[in-house]
Amino acid sequence: MLVVSFTLLAVVSTAAPDAAVLVVGRGGAFDTQAADDVRGLLRSADPAVLDKAATAQRLHGAYVPPPADRLVRLRHEAEQAKAAFGEFEIERAVSGYREVVGALADEVELSDGERALLQQTRVDLAVALLAVADPEETGRAESLQGQDAIGFLENAFREDPAMNLDAARYPPKVRTLLNAARANVQRQGLGGLEVRSNPTGVTVMVEGRPVGTTPLRLFSVLPPGRVRLWLEHKGRRTAARWVEVKRDNAVPVVVDAALDVTLWPQGAGVWLTDQQALDSAYIDKLRALLEVERLVMVGQTDHHAFVVEATGDGPPRLALAPRTADAKALRDALGRASPTYSAERPAFVLPAPGSDPPAPPDAAVPVASPGPGADGDADAPPAVAAPAVDEEAGEDEGGAGVWVWTGVGVGGAAALVAAAVVAAGATAGVLFWQGYITPDGQLDVAPRGKIDVTVRR
């Protein structure tokens, strides 16, 4: 007699290490509601599950996407400072320009518009400072204001070594001061970068300018000092980082672009291209980045919702459910799932939109399909775990019972789960279907035979 017991995953509450929930998007499209609901459900039973903000902060480290309204606000402040300068309120103009530069200069992540605004405001600030110092300042930093101004221009030149000023727009003393700033930076010598990435062939961006593809070695091309660097690959980009360029030295930079380009800049999620593998190695990198022991990932394909859990105690588990499944159904499906990743099949590949599932494989790794009795309803049949399957079994061998059928749509096929509702101690035959990860990582379902199960009420 086989006695089946079942424990829901989410109701186990221990002092386990932190856990996190991520949404998985395809092609830049994200449905965050299911992941948010799963996170809330798990947090209600386990306070070690990180909230959404904490998860995003760990995922991106110090990187925080620029607020959408920041450029508009800072442009307005710069325009007010310019208007004050035009009204000969020079001190107010200097103060306004300083605020704009201060708000942007130490931000590692800048939009193209913010980068242009920062460079222009540095020049405008230098002009205003020279106006305060007039007439003792000639453009050679003789005054305190001139020394202050040349520092802003040096920073502007480091970020854009090709920088020049229009003679028709700027007076001679300002252009003279820029030339002095350029000479100061050039006297400090030049340095370089040695950038390696996984994968190779990724474009390296320095202060918004492409400087080559990885593996990249640049010698004696960049002024010493701090620069923003990021990588771009297949229409996506990594988060920017500060790199300190040193004289006569190629600073080594190593970037796992394969991971970084999948991080969703707007929050707690990752985005994968069609046919991109959600494999064990990738999941482990995310767990390490988030510094969590347990990671739950929630997403959708054309035909189903999926949830993957990795805990570090064994291979990740994958569970499937209808696209309309709520958080509780996803959690319960995961609670029934068997380990579905292995050395032979280490990945779940998101199928391309509109693709049909392949034919059932001869051998595959089982994926638990949602069945009855998982939602905790008093009238539902008890949940049945999957023991070994007798693939040689034929028709019902006469056990008493009533068949109850449920269906779950997966791709173009249906994964049918049969559960026996029987009297105490009775035996029923159960036709057993399972979903599979095929050798090439695709999803499919196939019947696996019949078993006899005794259910104790």
The DSSP H or E segment spanning 325 is none
Domain identity same for 302 and 449? yes
Predicted local distance difference test score (pLDDT) of residue 51: 92
Nearest to 443 by CA among 332, 324, 314, 299: 299
Q: What is the total count of domains within the chain?
A: 3
With beta carbons less than 8 A apart as the criterion, state whether 19 and 48 touch: yes
pLDDT tens, per residue, the chain with 457 residues: 333 333 333 333 344 468 999 999 876 567 788 899 999 998 988 888 999 988 988 887 655 667 779 999 999 999 999 999 999 999 999 999 999 999 999 998 899 999 999 999 999 999 999 999 978 888 889 999 999 999 999 999 999 989 999 999 999 999 999 999 999 999 999 999 999 998 899 999 999 999 999 999 999 999 999 999 999 987 778 888 999 999 999 999 998 888 888 888 778 999 887 666 788 888 989 999 899 999 999 988 777 888 899 887 778 888 888 888 888 888 888 777 766 665 556 666 666 555 534 333 332 333 333 333 333 333 332 332 333 333 333 333 333 332 233 333 333 333 333 333 334 444 444 333 344 444 444 444 444 443 343 434 4
Q: Taking each helix axis from N to C terminus, what angle separates 144-159 and 172-187, rounded to the nearest 10 degrees?
A: 60
Q: Is residue 108 part of a domain?
A: yes
Q: What is the CATH number of the domain that holds 210?
A: 2.60.40.1120
Q: What is the pLDDT of residues 243-256, one digit of tens each?
A: 999 999 999 999 88
Domain identity same for 448 and 311? yes
Domain identity same for 303 and 445? yes
Domain identity same for 319 and 383? yes
In angstroms, rounded to a whole number, what is the distance separating the alpha carbons of residues 28 and 17? 31
Q: Which two tokens stand for residue 407?
A: 């269906």
Longest dimension (CA), the chain: 107
Q: Which two tokens stand for residue 109?
A: 């992540």
Does the predicted TM-score (pTM) go above 0.75? Answer: no
With beta carbons less than 8 A apart as the criterion, state whether 6 and 331 touch: no
Q: Is residue 379 part of a domain?
A: yes
Helix (H, G, I), strand (E, B) or coil at 205: strand
* Residue after which a domain boundary falls, among 213, 228, 260: 260
Domain identity same for 181 and 220? no
Domain identity same for 312 and 369? yes
Q: Is residue 4 part of a domain?
A: no
Q: Which domain holds residue 231?
A: 191-260
Q: Is residue 3 part of a domain?
A: no
Dihedral sign for Cα 32, 38, 41, 47, please: negative
% of the chain with per-residue pLDDT over 90 = 42
* Residue after which a domain boundary falls, among 136, 165, 186: 186
Domain identity same for 283 and 424? yes
Q: What is the CATH number of the domain that holds 109?
A: 1.25.40
Q: Is residue 160 part of a domain?
A: yes
By residue count, the chain amounts to 457
Give alpha helix (H) positions in 87-161. Answer: 90-105, 112-133, 144-159
With beta carbons less than 8 A apart as the criterion, state whether 403 and 355 touch: no
Q: What is the pLDDT of residues 197-239, one digit of tens each?
A: 988 999 999 999 999 999 999 999 999 999 999 999 877 788 8
Domain identity same for 36 and 137? no
The answer for 104, left when phi > 0, alpha when psi is -120 to 50, beta otherwise, is alpha
Domain identity same for 225 and 182? no
Helix (H, G, I), strand (E, B) or coil at 255: strand
Q: Is residue 1 part of a domain?
A: no
Domain identity same for 323 and 430? yes
Q: Is residue 211 part of a domain?
A: yes
Q: Is residue 2 part of a domain?
A: no
Domain identity same for 49 and 147? no
Domain identity same for 309 and 433? yes
